[in-house]
């Protein structure tokens, strides 16, 4: 059996491992927290720091093939492992580009991939040179995650709140729709695209509010989005699974926001709604199998279950019974003992052929189900 390693042990790793059990593969996970969501679902759990060179290198030497479930891993170690013959998806060179949001933006620019205008700054002081660029979104080059390290700066008097680290300042886009598309590329160069999905965000936490699949956009825009994802993936020059987040602005222009070189929150619905889920697809890539079918079985909506404000402590899923009593609704809880405000605790997928029904049920689930502390 092939030995496969996953760097990171969060919910994405958890769902990868649920799927791994369909294939002949021996699984390894490295993560600092031995109680993380993925720890008990692998053959071998290794406690270690994914940002530490030695930890990542030593872990990588245990396996045949390596993947990530979070970007903040030690890329230098991956590069050394790759040079020593370990298969790594995504390739470390692609991860290096994506991991740093400054480098990511420069990559889009260099490859003529449409994205919002931007400038880079090294510290808070340099923000002053770009007053005319506001309103803009400031993103930390490294270390941001789940809405942290990203903030909107409207006016000059907000610059004092700016991050004081190397970051990118992106011209605020007048967003009409937020879209995500997942693209899979096998080692042989075969490509599969999932249908684009549409997302609604919570403006306060910058976390996904709910998602609907497929996106309600004209066919021409779908083609445009697919073409951009293909161009982007080709330029990254790496097999693997990539989630591309895009904006459609008020004038109908499509702009890439960010890319993740891994399974992604925007693909959770594929577990039930598509013939091959993003998790299944990544295993096919890792194990050198043919790509799966990205076709939808049914349209779907998806609600992220995040920790309620002002609640921190042992997690309680208020309303879980009511949601489980709903038809065509799938509950995924990530097994995190502790909740805190904004923490991703689970997700709910709703299947159905009627779009209004999908939206109605998503709202219903959001109203019913709360993660509070004990």
- Site of interaction with its own copies (CB under 8 A): 1, 14-15, 17-19, 21-24, 27, 40-43, 275, 284, 289-290, 292-293, 295, 297-298, 315, 317, 320-321, 324-325, 327-328, 330-333, 335, 337, 351
Q: Which is nearer to its own copies, 81 or 320 (CB)?
A: 320
Nearer to its own copies, 163 or 317 (CB): 317
Closest distance of CB 17 from its own copies, Å:
8
Please say which residue, 13 or 141, places its beta carbon nearer to its own copies. 13
How far, CA to CA in Å, does 299 sit from each of 274, 288, 309, 329?
9, 29, 31, 12
269: left (phi over 0), alpha (psi -120 to 50) or beta: alpha
The enclosing H or E element of 120 equals strand 118-121
CA distance 15 to 30: 15
- Smallest separation (angstroms) from its own copies to the CB of 302: 14
CA dist 356 and 311 (Å) reads 32
Nearer Cβ to its own copies (239/292) = 292
C-alpha distances (whole Å) from 316 to each of 10, 210, 339, 369 are 19, 21, 8, 10
Whether omega before 135 lies within 30 degrees of 0, making that bond cis, reads: yes
The encoded tokens of residue 183 equal 């693209």
In this complex, which beta carbon is closest to its own copies, that of residue 108 or of residue 330? 330
Nearer to its own copies (CB atom), residue 12 or residue 255: 12
- Closest distance between its own copies and the C-beta of residue 38, in Å? 9
CA dist., res. 148 & res. 89, Å (int) = 26
Distance from C-alpha of 369 to C-alpha of 33, rounded to nearest angstrom: 27
DSSP category for residue 291: P
DSSP 63-100: -SEEEESSS-S-HHHHHHHHHTT-EEES-HHHHHHHHS
Nearer to its own copies, 130 or 347 (CB): 347
Instruction: Tell me how far, at minimum, the Cβ of 164 lies from its own copies, in Å.
Output: 40
The least CB distance from residue 70 to its own copies, in Å, is 18
Closest by CA to 248, choosing from 170, 175, 171, is: 175
Least Cβ distance, residue 197 to its own copies (angstroms): 19
**CB of 114 vs its own copies, minimal distance in Å:** 32
The phi and psi torsions of 313 (rounded to 5 degrees) equal 140, -160
Cβ partners under 8 Å of residue 68, min gap 6: 6, 7, 8, 50, 90, 95, 261, 262
Closest CB to its own copies among residues 20, 215: 20
Least gap, CB of 322 to its own copies (angstroms) = 8
């Amino acid at each position: 059996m092939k030995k496969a390693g996953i760097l990171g042990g969060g919910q994405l790793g958890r769902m990868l491992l649920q799927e791994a059990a369909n294939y002949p593969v021996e699984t390894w996970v490295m993560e600092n927290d031995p109680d993380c969501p993925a720890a008990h679902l692998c053959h071998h759990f290794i406690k270690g720091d994914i940002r530490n060179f030695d930890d990542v290198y030593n872990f990588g030497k245990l396996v045949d093939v390596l993947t990530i479930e979070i970007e903040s891993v030690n890329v230098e170690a991956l590069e050394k492992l790759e040079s020593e013959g370990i298969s790594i998806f995504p390739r470390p060179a692609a991860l290096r580009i994506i991991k740093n949001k400054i480098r990511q933006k420069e990559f889009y620019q260099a490859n003529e991939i449409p994205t919002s205008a931007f400038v880079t700054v090294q510290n808070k002081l340099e923000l002053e040179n770009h007053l005319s660029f506001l309103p803009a979104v400031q993103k930390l080059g490294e270390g941001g995650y789940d809405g942290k390290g990203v903030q909107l700066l409207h006016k000059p008097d907000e610059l004092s709140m700016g991050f004081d680290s190397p970051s990118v300042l992106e011209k605020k886009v007048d967003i009409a729709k937020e879209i995500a598309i997942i693209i899979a590329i096998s080692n042989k160069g075969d490509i599969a695209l999932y249908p684009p999905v549409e997302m609604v965000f919570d403006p306060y936490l910058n976390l996904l509010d709910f998602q609907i699949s497929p996106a309600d956009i004209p066919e021409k825009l779908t083609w445009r989005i697919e073409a951009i994802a293909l161009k982007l993936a080709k330029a990254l020059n790496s097999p693997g699974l990539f989630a591309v987040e895009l904006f459609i602005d008020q004038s109908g222009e499509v702009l890439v926001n960010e890319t993740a070189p891994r399974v992604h929150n925007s693909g959770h619905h594929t577990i039930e709604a598509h013939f091959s889920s993003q998790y299944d697809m990544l295993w096919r890539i890792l194990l050198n199998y043919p790509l799966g079918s990205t076709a939808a079985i049914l349209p779907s909506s998806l609600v992220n279950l995040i920790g309620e404000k002002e609640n921190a402590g042992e997690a309680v899923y208020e309303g879980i019974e009511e949601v489980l009593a709903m038809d065509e609704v799938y509950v995924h809880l990530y097994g995190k003992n502790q909740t805190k405000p904004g923490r991703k605790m689970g997700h709910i997928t709703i299947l159905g052929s009627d779009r209004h029904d999908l939206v109605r049920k998503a709202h219903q689930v959001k109203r019913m189900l709360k993660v509070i502390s004990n």
